[in-house]
Structure 1
Amino acid sequence: MAPVPVTSCFSDLPDPRDSNARHKLDEVLLIALCAVLCGAEDCSDMALFGRSKEPFLRRFLTLPHGIPSHDTFSRIFRHLDPGAFHDHFLTFMSRFAEQVEGVVAVDGKTLRRSYDRADAQSPLHLVNLWAADQRQVLGQRAVDEKSNEITAVPELLKLLSLSGVTVTADAMHCQRALSQQITEEGGHYALAVKDNQRVLFDDVRFMMETAGAGETHVDSGHGRVESRQATVITDIDWLQGAHQWPGLKAVGRITRRRELADKVSEDVAYYLLSDVVSPERLVEVTRQHWGIENRLHWVLDITMQEYQSRNRRGHGLENLALLRRLALNVAKLEPSKGSMKGKRKQAGWNDDYLLSLIRQFAQLR
């Protein structure tokens, strides 16, 4: 049977190799994506997957010189332009980015094992945009240091339609320019404020100390009890007179109390809000923000073993990180219920299921 032609977002990606390359770039990348969907963690796994699944792969790939070696996978990811790769990632995600609703969380993630002691190379730090309601990665940007997130986030947000979206971020991103950008594009923000904005933080805290206790929400499970007490103040004329913060309509406070069998802890967080929301909604928005930790970062580290990544040469680490996020998105878009771990096992064991995942991305004809 002749191979089924495939059209993918990789088809016009610039090939970093010379014209004598034996393997087609789009086919190498599609094999890599399939491999990660089935549990591959590195380039050696990708080559092993290719050899094990060659009859299946030949159903939609030509493979004129067989399955690439692990050196070929590694070389391609080291030299592939991460900006161009990200652009093609966005091509696939564009229809979702344009229609994203609800909360978009901004957060950074450091790949600790990418630190190279011999070359004094800092570990790779990635900034992610996460659609909390859709549970999709909308964008990724590598930065040299954590502090450089401040300049990376505005560029990432330009990729989205922010109309009606609430952008959440930690105190590092409590910046006037970012607040202005979000409100000018029709979005809302819920930004944590801490003492990196010392005067603003002190004034917000002073206002909240005169407010009532607010509404309390209690959750329990797994041997712990958590309560969140939320307060929102909309009478902020004095605060705005002093700070003139772009788009500011309210300020909020959440007091979190966590009770374990032998320990009680409490912390207080303050927020700048560009929309007047109820205390209940403030709790919901902030909880959605921290979903990026257990629905994205936890899955990447524990299920996909990202925290073990040691590829330190060239652009390999950044490109493989984006490939994992692409695989996560593809699996999440598949409508059946189940964990990421379960879907990856099913993809590895059931060729028809893997093919259904590929169709979402590659548009097999």
Structure 2
Amino acid sequence: MAVTAAGTGLLAHFSALEDPRQSGKVLYPLPEILLVVLCGTLSGCDDFVEMALWGREHLSFLRSFEPFARGIASHDTLNDVVRALDPALFEDCFVSWINSLRGAAGAEEIAVPETIAIDGKTMRRSGSRRGAGPLHLVSAWACGQRLVLAQEAVTGKSNEITAIPRLLDQLVLKGALVTIDAMGCQRAIAEQIVEAEADYVLAIKGNQKSLYGSIQRAIAEGRAEDGFGLDMVRIEDADHGRNEVRRHFILHDVSTLNRRHAWPGLGAVGMVEAEVERDGKTTVTRRCFLCSRPMSAAEFAAVVRSHWQIENSLHWVLDVVFRDDHARVRKGYGARNMGLIKRIAVNLLKSATDKNSLKVRRKKASWSTGYLHSLIIGTA
């Protein structure tokens, strides 16, 4: 007897999705279409033509979840349904699933996640030929649990400021430490995080020259006074002919800065000074940060480094493993919904316990239906 996909832990959370088609004309039920697209994505398919072919070749496996009484829908039907799905409701279902996963990890682990990093990524070929720009998806990434928590769509990186508050509204932030790059360094965003009983580490660059200059001067004064009131840790890296020394400074006395800039919940300011030597040339760059949670320089260094997980463990994976920048889904909500399906696949692949890379896990899913089944039901 087939175990319906709606009864499995993953797809049960997507049962609230409404089928965008007229009910009397539906030949291929929505759960079957979602299952084909998800399994195809996990198994290395990069477009709907490949997914439909994969489904026909693995029909007996798919029927262990759903009836598939009429077989596999055509690639055009898969495309039409995915691009017509309500993306907001789809993303709500995704958040429901993620919250169930995080809850299963234990209340203590959930209450204080190591870091939630927020950053955006553009789907390069999702733009319309009629001039509409490519889709930009802002994601929240739990660094400790290595999970995509939510996504929010905007048109262009410059609109991240409007997307981040909506993304934060979807998350359980209490006790979390939220890291955002300079685009999200806004008073309203900092206030939203503090009101949610969370902390922030916000990067700041020349986009806020007065505040940026004040932080640099305050840390320079601390250095000139032999580190009075300043904590510092030095980290060295050397590889591929490049020598780098990073100095992480954290200053807890922010009374003067607060009087001048009145930043919500400000508890410390930090700076990373990176000195890089390559081919006999040395360059020095400095990045400044606002922190609501006082921390040591070593803790600050770890937080700054962990933020880049979202680049290395999510955005790089989407580009290299899932060929996200080559996807040409442009019509309707197709790009946004496929972006979410790929993030579901990333979470499932990262949850596997074998020691293979994600690229190899994806190939293994295409070779072994037993392994694919374990990914879907959460036992891999």
Q: Which of 32, 42, 52 is residue 37 of structure 1 equivalent to?
A: 42
CA distance in 2, matches of 1:322, 1:263: 43
CA distance in 2, matches of 1:181, 1:30: 37
CA distance in 2, matches of 1:301, 1:243: 39
Cα shift at 1:328:
0.6
Cα shift at 1:265:
3.3
CA deviations 1:144-183 (Å, max 9, x no partner) are 2322211211121122222221111111111111111111
Q: Which of 231, 234, 250 is residue 232 of structure 1 equivalent to?
A: 250
- In structure 2, the partner of 1:243 is 261
Q: TM-score, normalised by structure 1?
A: 0.94
- In structure 1, the partner of 2:107 is none
Cα shift at 1:86:
0.7
Cα shift at 1:262:
5.8
Mean Cα displacement is larger for which, 151-160 or 244-253?
A: 151-160
The percentage of counterpart residues that share the same residue type is 42
Cα shift at 1:306:
0.2
Quickly say closer, same or farther: Cα 1:96–1:165, change in 2 above 3 A. farther
Q: Secondary structure, in 3 states, of the residue corresponding to 2:235?
A: strand
- Which of 1 and 2 has higher RCO (CA within 8 Å, sep 6+)? 1
| Partner amino acid, structure 2, of 1:175 | Q
Cα shift at 1:125:
0.8
| Partner amino acid, structure 1, of 2:133 | S
- In structure 2, the partner of 1:345 is 363
CA distance in 2, matches of 1:260, 1:96: 44
Mean Cα displacement is larger for which, 107-116 or 317-326?
A: 107-116
Aligned length: 359
Alpha carbons 1:93, 1:138 under 8 Å: kept:
yes
- In structure 2, the partner of 1:297 is 315
- In structure 1, the partner of 2:113 is 101
Mean Cα displacement is larger for which, 15-24 or 203-212?
A: 203-212
CA deviations 1:110-163 (Å, max 9, x no partner) are 1122223x3111111111111112111111111123222112111211222222
Q: TM-score, normalised by structure 2?
A: 0.90
Mean Cα displacement is larger for which, 188-197 or 90-99?
A: 90-99
Cα shift at 1:335:
2.3
- In structure 1, the partner of 2:183 is 172
- In structure 1, the partner of 2:54 is 49
CA deviations 1:160-213 (Å, max 9, x no partner) are 222221111111111111111111222111101122222211211211221227
CA deviations 1:60-109 (Å, max 9, x no partner) are 21001101110111001111111111111112111345626011111111
Alpha carbons 1:228, 1:283 under 8 Å: kept:
no
Unpaired stretches in structure 1, ≥5 consecutive residues: none
CA distance in 2, matches of 1:229, 1:324: 37
Q: Secondary structure, in 3 states, of the residue corresponding to 2:308?
A: helix
- In structure 2, the partner of 1:315 is 333
CA distance in 2, matches of 1:22, 1:295: 38
CA distance in 2, matches of 1:183, 1:96: 25
Which residues in structure 2 correspond to 1:327-342 (within 5 Å)? 327-342=345-360
Quickly say closer, same or farther: Cα 1:179–1:315, change in 2 above 3 A. same
- In structure 1, the partner of 2:126 is 114
- In structure 2, the partner of 1:89 is 94
Q: Secondary structure, in 3 states, of the residue corresponding to 1:226?
A: strand
Q: Which of 11, 18, 21 is residue 14 of structure 1 equivalent to?
A: 18
Quickly say closer, same or farther: Cα 1:210–1:47, change in 2 above 3 A. same
Quickly say closer, same or farther: Cα 1:35–1:262, change in 2 above 3 A. farther
Alpha carbons 1:97, 1:161 under 8 Å: kept:
no
CA distance in 1, matches of 2:169, 2:126: 29
Alpha carbons 2:204, 2:288 under 8 Å: kept:
yes
- In structure 1, the partner of 2:66 is 61
